[in-house]
Amino acid sequence: MPKWLTMDAPESDVVVSTRMRLARNLADVPFPACLRGRDDIEKVHEGARQSILKSSAFEYMRLGETDTLKKRALAERHIISPELARRRDGALIVNEDESISVMILEEDHYRLQTLSAGLTPDKAYGEVDLLDKMLADGVEYAFDEQLGFLTSCPTNAGTGLRASVMLHLPGLAATKGMPRVSAMVAKVGMTVRGAFGEGTAAAGALYQISNQVTLGVSEQEILDRLTTTAKTVIEFERGTRTELAKSLGVALEDRVWRAVGLLKNARRMGGAEAQRLISDVALGLSLGIAGGLSSSEMYKLMMDTRPAIIAEMHGKLSPSQRDVKRAEMIRDVLTQRCTG
Amino acid sequence: MPKWLTMDAPESDVVVSTRMRLARNLADVPFPACLRGRDDIEKVHEGARQSILKSSAFEYMRLGETDTLKKRALAERHIISPELARRRDGALIVNEDESISVMILEEDHYRLQTLSAGLTPDKAYGEVDLLDKMLADGVEYAFDEQLGFLTSCPTNAGTGLRASVMLHLPGLAATKGMPRVSAMVAKVGMTVRGAFGEGTAAAGALYQISNQVTLGVSEQEILDRLTTTAKTVIEFERGTRTELAKSLGVALEDRVWRAVGLLKNARRMGGAEAQRLISDVALGLSLGIAGGLSSSEMYKLMMDTRPAIIAEMHGKLSPSQRDVKRAEMIRDVLTQRCTG
């Protein structure tokens, strides 16, 4: 489903994806929270449409006219925020594989976003920078010589850049290493949290590290800090996995193979169990336990089997129908590909 | 391992095996509890040896000289009792597939036993009757015109016959139907208990039904009563399984397939979990869920993966090594044969 999540991306044994997000506002239109005039609203929409829809790679959708199932799925894929999904006057501009998008009238007039697989900050930033230049060609940004880009919330002002990586950290999660990671990243002005919001990492061991500070640093400094931090956490995670494999031995092999067995055979499966088992298999793959699949395929499966994404693909289902469908989707992927 | 447990035995969707046991004693030798004289002990041994070892199909082993691992395995297969295993002056005469055996100097001088797969009381009784005649040719039994065969414990006197069937009752076990079965069989002078002793049925849902009364009824009456009772319980179990399949639907399919997945993939497995999962698969097979295997193969696997039998095949192992070996044995059987 997330087509941008390609195989063999850099550091994909630990890194799911890299994301860049720029906050931008028009110079002569009130921030969204104060925006009431129909003309001003249309001006925000038109600015982005005329700049970006010149390229036929993009699609424009008004969220007030978008199907609810579709909006929920977009939110689960982190293409729109739940807040934007609820705004009737908001819109989304997005390319075909959803790797490049613009949220219109979220907290800021524009939120430009790019996603790419693995640890790829230069690629992701290059793309968001290009998108920024396309948009800047057609509109005048709210920009202050002293402060930089102006944003609704002061924490985003300056560069307006939020750079993040999504990491799969089953080793650190299993060994209570996450508090150390939190402390470590906090020291360089970054933060770590569950990939699907606070406290959501438990099942799949997916975490997001992003910069806290957007002001008083350059874009390059933010990227460098993210890369350095990510590489440190990656090494920490890899070391922990090797230690786990050594200390647990057959117990870890057993856990991974049982996960394979359940994923290949279960006839219904809840979301949390699926996340946990797929995470176990991804851990196993990185240690040479089990084979025939890639970590990226496991990350894809973790995302594709989230509730709203299943509903987007298969229509509205009851929770128990969804559990049956989830098990079926997982069997399809694993039976085709997995040895064991 | 138990080679007598053949495939496609009658009613093998529910019945594991039929067992007949005759208690016999010599006329002019004290019962084992009072037996001290070396000459008398040898007379008991010699009586059986000369009658039965004429046939080269049988082997004779003194339990005082038999390897402990071997004795434990024989006890787990119900060929000898734990009591006999502990007696230094006891012996076993047994044929190659262990379907026919004589315990010497257990509670009685002789305990003649036959085992056959499925619901086969006539076959099993025919064989034990033949064995009885072979033995009677060479020795003089303790027999009373009024009481019939005399035994150490009066509850075995008369026919000396204990006729039993081992049943796989996962449906009744899951639906709390066992108290009804107990009440039903008690009415006709029979009893039901866990196949590996009181309260042991839980994991694998294996139960044994046998006659309580040996005196004042003919052998044929005991066999008829056992057959009728078994057939009633079989129908009750089959009906319950069909009901379960209807009421649980995908939940039952899920349980069976998860069991298949774990059995085919786990790298270590405890005895109780193995019993439970193999029982789930056997239930599934009888309902057309999963395929490629027979119920009999599942019963075999339940027996072959008991601790002492693993030790007999693979030597002395620590509990954790045994769990690894058990998982390996199970994988071998299921990976060769099972679809899914």
Selecting from B264, B268, B324 the residue whose C-beta is nearest the C-beta of A261 gives B264
Q: Which residues does chain A have within 8 Å of residue B324's beta carbon, measured at their own beta carbons?
A: 250
**In a domain? residue A8:** no
Is the Cβ of A258 closer than 8 Å to some Cβ of chain B? yes
Contacting residues of A for B267, CB less than 8 Å apart: 250, 253-254, 257-258
ipTM of predicted assembly, 2 dp: 0.89
Among candidate residues B238, B262, B288, the one where a domain is terminated: B238
Q: Are residues B293 and B173 in the same domain?
A: no
Q: Give the closest of B254, B257, B267 to A250, CB-based.
A: B267
B147, B210 Cβ separation under 8 angstroms: no
Integer Cα distance of A98 and A12 in angstroms? 19
- Check residue B335 and give its pLDDT: 83
pLDDT band at A198 (very low <50, low <70, confident <90, very high): low
Residue A254 to residue B260, Cβ atoms within 8 A = no
Share of chain B above pLDDT 70, in %: 96
In order, the DSSP letters of A50-99 are: HHHTTSTTEEEEEGGGS-HHHHHHHHHTTSS-HHHHH-TT-EEEEETTSS
Residues pairing with B22 in the sheet: B112, B161
Give the pair of three-digit tokens for residue A214. Answer: 């957007």
Q: Is A217 on the interface with B (CB under 8 A)?
A: no
Domain boundary among A238, A269, A300: A238
Closest by Cβ to B268, choosing from A254, A265, A327? A254
Provide, as residue numbers in chain B, all residues whose Cβ is less than 8 Å from the Cβ of A340.
265
Residues A292 and A145 in one domain: no
Looking at the DSSP bridge assignments, the partners of residue B101 are B94, B113
DSSP label of B328 = H
Do residue A224 and residue A288 come from a single domain?
A: no
The answer to whether residues B268 and B233 belong to one domain is no
CA dihedral (B283, B285, B288, B291) in degrees, to 10, reads 150
Same domain, B56 and B163: yes
> Which among B251, B260, B265 has CB closest to A257?
B265
The whole-angstrom distance between A266's CA and the closest CA on chain B is 5
A254 vs B267: CB contact, 8 Å cut-off? yes
Q: Which domain holds residue A82?
A: 15-238
CB contact under 8 A, B251 and A268: yes
C-alpha B248/C-alpha B280 separation (Å) is 14
Cβ-defined contact of A254 to B266 (cutoff 8 Å): yes
CB-side exposure of B250: number of CA atoms within 13 Å?
13
pLDDT of residue B337: 57
pLDDT in the model for residue A340 = 45
CB contact under 8 A, A267 and B254: yes
Residues B58, B46: Cα–Cα separation, whole Å = 14
Tell me the chain B residues in contact with residue A263 when contact means C-beta distances shorter than 8 Å.
Answer: 261
Q: Which residues of B touch A264 (CB under 8 A)?
A: 261, 265
The answer to whether residue B228 is domain-embedded is yes
Least Cα separation, residue B249 to chain A (angstroms)? 10
- Distance of residue A102 Cα from the nearest chain B Cα, in angstroms: 42
Question: What does the pLDDT average to over B295-299?
Answer: 91
What pLDDT score does B1 carry? 55
Question: Mutation test of the interface with chain A: which of B248, B252, B257, B334, choosing the one with the most A Cβ atoms within 10 A?
Answer: B257
- Label residue A213 by pLDDT band (50, 70, 90): confident
Share of residues in chain A with pLDDT > 70 (%): 96
Q: What's the gap in Å between the CA of A169 and the closest CA on chain B?
A: 23
Record the tokens describing residue A149, joined without a space: 């880009």
Q: Specify if A9 maps to a domain.
A: no
Are B106 and B33 a contacting pair, CB within 8 Å?
Answer: no
The CB density around residue A336, as the number of other CB atoms within 10 Å, is 9
**Is B198 a member of any domain?**
yes
Distance in angstroms (rounded) separating the CA atoms of residues B164 and B203: 21
Is B327 close to A262, i.e. CB distance below 8 A?
A: no
Residue among A253, A256, A257 with most chain B CBs within 10 A, to mutate: A257
Within 8 A by CB and 6+ apart from B67, the residues are none
The answer as to whether B305 is a domain residue is: yes
Is there a single domain that holds both residue A54 and residue A184?
yes
Considering the domain architecture, whether residues B228 and B307 belong to the same structural domain is answered as no
Predicted confidence band at B339 (pLDDT cuts at 50, 70, 90)? very low
Chain A residues close to B261, C-beta within 8 Å: 258, 260-266
Backbone CA torsion sign across B70, B74, B75, B76: positive
- Please indicate, yes or no, if residue B10 is contained in any of the structural domains: no
From chain A, the residues in CB contact with B262 under 8 A are 258, 261-262
**CATH number for A210:** 3.30.590.10
Residues B231 and B253 in one domain: no
Q: Are residues B189 and B325 in the same domain?
A: no
Listed residues A211, A238, A265: the one ending a domain: A238
The verdict on B140 and B285 lying in the same domain is no
> Which residues from A are below 8 Å from B253, CB to CB?
267
pLDDT(B88) > 90: no
Nearest to A270, CA basis, from A204, A199, A327, A314: A327
**A264 and chain B in contact, CB less than 8 A:** yes
C-alpha–C-alpha distance, residues B157 and B151, integer Å: 5
Predicted confidence at residue B197, as pLDDT, reads 66
Q: Does A260 touch chain B (CB under 8 A)?
A: yes
Identify the residue with better confidence: A39 or A199: A39
Q: Kindly identify which residue of chain B lies nearest to residue A269, measuring between CA atoms.
A: B254
- pLDDT digits over A222-261, tens only? 999 999 999 999 999 999 999 999 999 999 999 999 999 9
Q: Stretch B322-336: mean pLDDT, rounded?
A: 92
pLDDT at B280 over 80: yes
Please say if the pLDDT value at position B198 is more than 70: no
> Nearest 10 degrees: CA dihedral of B302, B305, B306, B307?
-170
Question: Is B40 a member of any domain?
Answer: yes
For residue A274 the two structure tokens come to 């699926």
Chain A and chain B share a number of CB contacts under 8 A equal to 54
Task: Answer whether A266 sits within 8 Å of B257, measured CB to CB.
Answer: yes
Are the C-beta atoms of residues A169 and A131 closer than 8 Å to each other?
no
What domain count does chain A have?
2
pLDDT digits (tens, 9 = 90+) for A257-266: 999 999 999 9
Cα(A155)–Cα(A157) distance, rounded to whole angstroms?
A: 6
What is the structure's pLDDT at B97?
A: 93
Residue position matching structure tokens 């097979």: B285
Mutate to test the interface with B, among A248, A262, A264, A267 (most CBs of B within 10 A): A267
Residues A150, A278 share a domain: no
Dist CA A258 CA A36 (whole Å)? 56
Whether A20 contacts A111, CB under 8 Å: no
Whether B318 and chain A come into contact, CB under 8 Å, resolves to no
Contact B275/B309 with Cβ under 8 angstroms?
no
Residue B319 lies in a domain: yes
Lowest mean pLDDT among A90-104, B1-15, B125-139: B1-15
Mean pLDDT calculated for residue range B78-83:
92
CB contact under 8 A, A258 and B266: yes
Same domain, B182 and B275: no
Question: What is residue A27's three-state secondary structure?
Answer: coil
Q: For B261, which of A250, A261, A324 is closest by C-beta distance? A: A261
B262–chain A Cβ distance below 8 A for any pair? yes
Of A179, A182, A201, the closest CA to residue A191 belongs to: A182
Q: How far apart are CA A174 and CA A177, in angstroms?
A: 8
